[in-house]
């Protein structure tokens, strides 16, 4: 087939056509009257402060709610990283992000004094990534029509010194004094000033009050005080005053010289986003403009006007955000300029000062913030901050996503066995948990307190991930109501602020990947390296210094606990793969059980399928099924009631899929009764497992390094016993995602334990 030919012309045409409308939007510029027409059409949009713009941007990307540990949590989709297909998505920090968004919203509504937002937490908790995504969001949003931001430039024509130039831009007189048609000098506002600041303050207030009333905005939004009270920066004020004198107070002729331009935020382009690294210079400054600079045309045209050039990150970040990375690595006296920045919205540039409109965010770790607290000079600074704790993750499912993202490239060269990242994530979360004090809470029911007292680190980690720990009976699970789980999840403000850093676990996987001799990254190799981390002690890792507390912070024991859990997992997966248990047979047993339980609950009789006579519900059969679920005699009635309730809920809530044209008996039983299905499957396996020749499977696997070798070996042998080996490998691949190299050591380990 002939391959398509792509050349330079096709590429340029493709880009131009795909982006033409966007290019036209972001390149918009026009006269001041053109801009005022837009302001009148949408006053709120064209008077937004940085806080309002940022909050609107976050809302623009959307959000959704989900239940987590008994409470509704909101996920803001901006932090899913829609710009890179989730490459830098933030996992598991929805509560932290919602708190930050709430503070931004308060600033947008001008509900109080603005603050410096400081994301505070241990290393590697995505503090910087959160702020970076806000910046990326502003870059993308300001390219959209809903996110349009405008500034202005001063322009002058070659006939500027001509007498009686007339009113250009609003009329047709000549010569071209204001450079409407052919400007010879254009001076953009260095501070990206808001065009409305060109209207005198008193007239500006009156105009905005009328627009607010006319558009019914009084009850929705405040008129931003930065727009009401703000003033032009030094250069613009000098030019404005000069022109006003030149035209004897004719403001319209002054506005002839104003070119309103749309601006798009860009960190690399120095517009709207500025990042200050720990070693960076945050000082601001200004200096007189010399004749050999770009300002020389303006200086030539405007006699008696002195201009300055501004320096510093606030020149870039004005109208947007300024991000201080590791903000407190600098002495507190070096940050005193922040006081006037958030209190008075002003910045000193040495020679001059000017009004600013910025949102200031910073990041800091635990040690740096503690050092700041001991500095008496920092008290005023701390009073103007909003400290937002950013902990390590407490949901191992989210933690695992981070590891898998980091291993995305490594998977091209290394095989990774199922559960390797899952168990590492569980270990990490277990290291961060605190022992609950809720068993002593008098306002919690006694039965629930007894269950809470049973929660070890593994059980608590599973509960935080929305899973009921296997150590709890069905009755005990019911005691953990939504309110109890919510209180447990929010019991300790500091939970997650200590424990193993995510970066250490990422380094563990990096170390495994560097070992080219490893055919597959298995949980066994993860356990070995986790033990080595613990061996290094608190001298190397601070979190290891924590004192044990009834199983909590017993880092050495965590690996043993997870080894036991992994033994149970692989036993279940191998059992499910070695014996072909008929799922239809299991569903038939569940359906029969439900029929008898329903009759029992209603105190009714059943029709015998053989004789048609009435008969009592089969107690022996029901108790046999319930024994698989470890239901105690005292819990039988409650358990039976709950099993029927599941069926009712599945039908009424619509969460389960009914098979077309079927009665309630045709509901998806495997999903509705997943736990019972699993136990029945295991029971049937136990009835059939003695028929498996494990010794033959072991010999086959030990002889063959690859699946191709195994298939060749089995074909040569032609032994039916050996075909079970291939069936096992195929089922583990198809059902659980094991490649041969990953499955082989795990099956051999299982057989050794079983036969040993």
How far, in Å, CA of 582 to CA of 348, rounded?
A: 78
Least confident of 430-444, 550-564, 639-653: 639-653
Confidence at residue 718, expressed as pLDDT on a 0 to 100 scale: 74
Contact 127, 392 (CB under 8 A): no
| pLDDT value at 282 more than 50 | yes
* pLDDT level of residue 218 (50, 70, 90 thresholds): confident
- Largest Cα separation within the chain, whole Å, is 117
Distances (CA, A) of 385 to 116, 343, 363: 5, 11, 12
Give me the helices (H) in 27-93, please. Answer: 32-41, 50-60
Q: Could you say which DSSP state residue 659 is in?
A: P
Give 84's contacts (C-beta < 8 A, 6+ positions apart): none
Confidence at residue 289, expressed as pLDDT on a 0 to 100 scale: 61
Give 426's contacts (C-beta < 8 A, 6+ positions apart): 396, 458, 461, 562, 565
Distances (CA, A) of 232 to 136, 242, 648: 28, 14, 68
Encoded tokens for 410: 């490594």
How far, in Å, CA of 648 to CA of 597, rounded?
A: 13
Confidence at residue 183, expressed as pLDDT on a 0 to 100 scale: 84
Confidence at residue 714, expressed as pLDDT on a 0 to 100 scale: 87
* pLDDT level of residue 159 (50, 70, 90 thresholds): confident
Highest mean pLDDT among 159-173, 599-613, 738-752: 738-752
Least confident of 382-391, 416-425, 587-596, 711-720: 711-720
Report the pLDDT averaged over residues 639-655: 78
Report the percentage of the chain scoring pLDDT > 90. Answer: 55
Confidence at residue 291, expressed as pLDDT on a 0 to 100 scale: 46
Confidence at residue 607, expressed as pLDDT on a 0 to 100 scale: 86
Give me the helices (H) in 5-163, please. Answer: 8-26, 32-41, 50-60, 94-108, 127-141
Phi, psi of 456, rounded to the nearest 5 degrees = -90, 175
Say what the pTM is.
0.85
Confidence at residue 165, expressed as pLDDT on a 0 to 100 scale: 45
Q: Could you say which DSSP state residue 60 is in?
A: H
Confidence at residue 659, expressed as pLDDT on a 0 to 100 scale: 37
Report the pLDDT averaged over residues 430-444: 96
Confidence at residue 664, expressed as pLDDT on a 0 to 100 scale: 47
* pLDDT level of residue 14 (50, 70, 90 thresholds): low
Question: Which H/E stretch holds residue 29?
Answer: strand 29-30
How far, in Å, CA of 368 to CA of 202, rounded?
A: 46
Average pLDDT, the chain: 87
| pLDDT value at 493 more than 50 | yes
| pLDDT value at 655 more than 70 | no
Encoded tokens for 149: 């931001």
Confidence at residue 20, expressed as pLDDT on a 0 to 100 scale: 63
| pLDDT value at 225 more than 90 | yes
| Tens digit of each residue's pLDDT (9 = 90 or more) over 568-590 | 999 889 988 887 677 788 888 88
Least confident of 150-159, 332-341, 383-392: 332-341
| Tens digit of each residue's pLDDT (9 = 90 or more) over 33-91 | 999 999 999 999 999 999 999 999 999 999 999 999 999 999 999 999 999 999 999 99
Encoded tokens for 284: 């601001």
Other C-beta atoms closer than 10 Å to the C-beta of 159 total 17
* pLDDT level of residue 456 (50, 70, 90 thresholds): very high
| pLDDT value at 463 more than 50 | yes
Confidence at residue 171, expressed as pLDDT on a 0 to 100 scale: 45
* pLDDT level of residue 417 (50, 70, 90 thresholds): very high
| Tens digit of each residue's pLDDT (9 = 90 or more) over 711-739 | 888 888 776 555 788 889 998 999 899 99
Report the percentage of the chain scoring pLDDT > 70. Answer: 88
How far, in Å, CA of 345 to CA of 190, rounded?
A: 17
Residue among 420, 437, 465 at smallest CA distance from 570: 420
| Tens digit of each residue's pLDDT (9 = 90 or more) over 311-328 | 889 999 999 999 999 998
The DSSP bridge pattern shows strands 63-68 and 520-521 to be: unpaired
How far, in Å, CA of 471 to CA of 457, rounded?
A: 12
Phi, psi of 590, rounded to the nearest 5 degrees = -65, -40
CA 344 to chain CA centroid, nearest Å: 33
Q: Residue 274's beta-bridge partner residues?
A: 322
Confidence at residue 173, expressed as pLDDT on a 0 to 100 scale: 52
Determine the 3-state secondary structure of 186 from DSSP.
Answer: strand
Determine the 3-state secondary structure of 479 from DSSP.
Answer: helix
| pLDDT value at 663 more than 50 | no
Concatenating the DSSP letter of every residue in 602-651 gives HT--EE-TTT--EE---HHHHHHHHHHTT--GGGHHHHHHHHHHHHHHHH
Q: Could you say which DSSP state residue 119 is in?
A: E
Contact 710, 726 (CB under 8 A): yes
Report the pLDDT averaged over residues 536-551: 91
| Tens digit of each residue's pLDDT (9 = 90 or more) over 169-183 | 444 456 778 878 888
Report the pLDDT averaged over residues 726-755: 89
- The residue whose two tokens read 């039908």 is 651
Angle at 162 between CA 158 and CA 165, to 5 degrees: 100
Domain boundaries, the chain: 396-578, 583-687, 692-755
| pLDDT value at 255 more than 50 | yes
* pLDDT level of residue 457 (50, 70, 90 thresholds): very high
Contact 108, 51 (CB under 8 A): yes
Distances (CA, A) of 113 to 344, 362, 490: 10, 17, 28
Concatenating the DSSP letter of every residue in 702-725 gives HH-SSHHHHHHHHHHH--HHHHHH
Distances (CA, A) of 412 to 400, 425, 512, 513, 598: 19, 22, 14, 11, 53
| Tens digit of each residue's pLDDT (9 = 90 or more) over 289-309 | 654 444 566 656 676 778 888
């Amino acid at each position: 087939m002939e391959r398509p030919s792509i050349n330079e012309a096709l590429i340029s045409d493709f880009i131009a056509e795909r982006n033409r409308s966007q290019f036209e939007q972001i390149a918009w510029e026009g006269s001041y009257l053109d801009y005022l027409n837009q302001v009148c059409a949408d006053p709120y949009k064209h008077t937004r402060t940085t806080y309002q713009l940022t909050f609107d941007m976050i809302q623009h990307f959307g959000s959704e709610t989900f239940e987590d540990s008994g409470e509704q949590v909101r996920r803001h989709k901006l932090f899913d990283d829609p710009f890179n297909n989730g490459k830098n998505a933030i996992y598991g920090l929805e509560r932290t992000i919602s708190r930050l968004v709430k503070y931004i919203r308060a600033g947008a509504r001008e509900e109080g004094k603005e603050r410096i937002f400081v994301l505070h937490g241990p290393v590697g908790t995505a503090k910087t990534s959160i702020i970076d995504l806000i910046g990326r969001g502003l870059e993308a949003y300001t390219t959209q029509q809903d996110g349009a931001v405008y500034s202005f430039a001063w322009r002058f024509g070659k006939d500027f010194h001509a007498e009686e130039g007339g009113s250009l831009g609003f009329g047709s007189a000549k010569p071209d004094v204001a450079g409407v048609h052919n400007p010879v000098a254009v001076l953009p506002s260095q501070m990206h000033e808001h065009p409305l600041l060109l209207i005198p303050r008193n007239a500006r207030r009156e105009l905005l009050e009328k627009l607010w009333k006319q558009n019914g905005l009084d009850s929705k939004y405040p008129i931003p005080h930065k727009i009401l009270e703000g003033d032009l920066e030094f250069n613009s004020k000098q030019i404005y005053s000069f022109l006003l004198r030149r035209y004897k107070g004719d403001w319209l002729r002054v506005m002839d010289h104003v070119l309103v331009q749309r601006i798009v935020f860009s960190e690399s382009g120095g517009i709207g986003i500025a990042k200050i690294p720990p070693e960076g210079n945050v000082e601001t400054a200004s200096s007189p403009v010399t004749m050999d600079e770009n300002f020389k045309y303006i200086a030539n045209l405007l006699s008696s006007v002195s201009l300055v050039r501004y320096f510093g990150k606030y020149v870039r970040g004005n109208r947007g955000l300024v991000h201080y990375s590791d903000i407190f690595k600098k002495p507190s006296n070096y940050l005193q300029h922040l006081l006037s920045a958030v209190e008075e919205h002003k910045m000193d540039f040495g020679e001059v000062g000017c009004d600013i409109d910025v949102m200031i965010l910073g990041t800091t770790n635990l040690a740096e913030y503690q050092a700041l607290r001991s500095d008496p000079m920092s008290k005023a600074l701390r009073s103007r901050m909003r400290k937002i704790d950013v902990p390590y993750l407490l949901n191992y499912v989210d933690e695992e996503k981070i590891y898998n993202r980091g291993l995305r490239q490594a998977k091209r060269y290394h095989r990774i066995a199922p559960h390797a990242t899952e168990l590492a994530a569980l270990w990490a979360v277990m290291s961060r948990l605190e022992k609950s004090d809720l068993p002593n809470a008098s306002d919690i029911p006694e039965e629930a307190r007894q269950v809470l007292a049973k929660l070890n680190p593994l059980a608590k980690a599973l509960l935080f991930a929305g899973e009921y720990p296997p150590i709890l009976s069905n009755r005990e699970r019911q005691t953990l109501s939504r309110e109890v789980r919510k209180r447990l999840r929010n019991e300790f403000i500091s939970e997650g602020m200590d424990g193993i850093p995510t970066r250490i676990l990422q380094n563990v996987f990096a170390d495994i990947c560097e070992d080219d001799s490893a055919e597959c990254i298995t949980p066994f190799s993860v356990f070995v390296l986790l033990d080595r981390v613990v061996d290094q002690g608190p001298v190397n890792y601070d979190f290891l210094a924590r004192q044990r507390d009834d199983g909590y912070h017993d880092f050495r024991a965590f690996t043993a606990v997870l080894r036991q859990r992994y033994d149970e997992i692989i036993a279940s997966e191998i059992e499910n793969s070695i014996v072909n248990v008929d799922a239809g047979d299991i569903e038939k047993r569940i359906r029969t059980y439900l029929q008898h339980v329903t009759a029992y609950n209603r105190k009714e009789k059943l029709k015998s399928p053989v004789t048609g006579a009435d008969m009592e519900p089969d107690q022996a059969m029901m108790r046999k099924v319930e024994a698989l679920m470890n239901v105690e005699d005292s819990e039988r009635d409650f358990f039976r009631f709950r099993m029927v309730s599941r069926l009712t809920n599945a039908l009424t809530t619509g969460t389960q899929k009914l098979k077309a044209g079927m009665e309630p008996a045709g509901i998806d039983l495997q999903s509705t009764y997943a736990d019972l299905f699993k136990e029945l499957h295991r029971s049937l396996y136990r009835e059939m497992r003695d028929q498996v020749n494990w010794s033959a499977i072991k010999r086959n696997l030990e002889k063959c390094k690859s699946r191709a070798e195994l298939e060749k070996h089995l074909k040569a042998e032609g032994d039916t016993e050996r075909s079970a080996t291939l069936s096992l490998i195929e089922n583990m691949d198809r059902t659980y995602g094991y490649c041969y190299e990953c499955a082989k050591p795990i099956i051999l380990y299982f057989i050794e334990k079983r036969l040993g």
